[in-house]
Structure 1
């Protein structure tokens, strides 16, 4: 069961990270497009600024799960380094449960914002609902839950292992 979940978690985290990388590509491409249209062609495309902002929001919320999975998001370095293995596992679970609580709040309020914002349209992109901006929070949060549980089952602390 544990191995099956960890395999599912790796798949979900990979999908999430690929999405985050895709959003970075979109943001940087639109940024270059905006520079060319504004300063070279002197015909700015205002819609690209909104899409850049939207893609950066999605990039962050899709990239966070990988940080949680690697144990890089929330860590108590000094306490963790000085603790025996049993206490380290307890710390992993305490930090994991605290992170799950925070992410649950983000999912709850993110979904609430998305539902409230579905009747609004984005300024500059009247055909796109604000739902698509706000729904990044609960979707990213769901990926985070999977990453946090994966880290609780199979702890990784890359930032602690590489630090001297």
Structure 2
């Protein structure tokens, strides 16, 4: 059962990281497109700025689970190094519970923001709801819960 969960967790973290890489590639491609349109063709595409901003937000929230997986998010190095093995196990639990509490708040309020933002539209992309931008918080948070 533990091995099955770890396989599930690795695949979820891999999928989230793949999504984060795709969002970074999208932001870079849109940035290059914006430079080309603005300075070569002198016809700026305003919608690219909005999409770059939101793709970077999605990138961050999708990459957080990989940081948790590697132990790079919450660090209590000094206490961890000075503690005996039994206390280290307690520290692992305390840090994990604190991280889960924080991620729980992000999921809760992120979903609330997403629902409330459903009536707003993105500036520059009036046909797209802000729901999709705010949805990055609860989706990234759910991937984090699995990673933690």
Q: Tell me, in whole angstroms, the C-alpha distance in 2 between the residues paired with 1:102 and 1:45.
A: 37
Q: Tell me, in whole angstroms, the C-alpha distance in 2 between the residues paired with 1:86 and 1:132.
A: 44
- 2:87 pairs with 1:87: yes
What is the CA-CA distance between 1:32 and the residue it aligns to? 0.5
Corresponding residue of 2:106: 106
RMSD: 0.6
Superposition misfits of 4+ residues, deviation over 6 angstroms: none
Q: Tell me, in whole angstroms, the C-alpha distance in 1 between the residues paired with 2:100 and 2:40.
A: 48
Q: Tell me, in whole angstroms, the C-alpha distance in 2 between the residues paired with 1:83 and 1:27.
A: 43
Q: Tell me, in whole angstroms, the C-alpha distance in 1 between the residues paired with 2:128 and 2:45.
A: 16
Q: Tell me, in whole angstroms, the C-alpha distance in 1 between the residues paired with 2:137 and 2:58.
A: 8
Equivalent residues in 2 for 1:11-90 (5 A)? 11-90=11-90
Structure 1, residues 47-73: CA drift from partner, whole Å, max 9, x if none? 000000010000000000000111100
Structure 1, residues 123-161: CA drift from partner, whole Å, max 9, x if none? 10011000000000000000000001xxxxxxxxxxxxx
**Secondary structure at 1:118 match in 2:** helix
Q: Tell me, in whole angstroms, the C-alpha distance in 2 between the residues paired with 1:20 and 1:27.
A: 11
Corresponding residue of 2:118: 118
Q: Tell me, in whole angstroms, the C-alpha distance in 1 between the residues paired with 2:98 and 2:28.
A: 34
What is the CA-CA distance between 1:86 and the residue it aligns to? 1.3
Task: Identify unmatched segments of 5+ residues in structure 1.
Answer: 149-164
Structure 1, residues 10-53: CA drift from partner, whole Å, max 9, x if none? 00000000000000000000000011111111111000000000
Task: Identify unmatched segments of 5+ residues in structure 2.
Answer: none
Q: Tell me, in whole angstroms, the C-alpha distance in 2 between the residues paired with 1:133 and 1:85.
A: 43
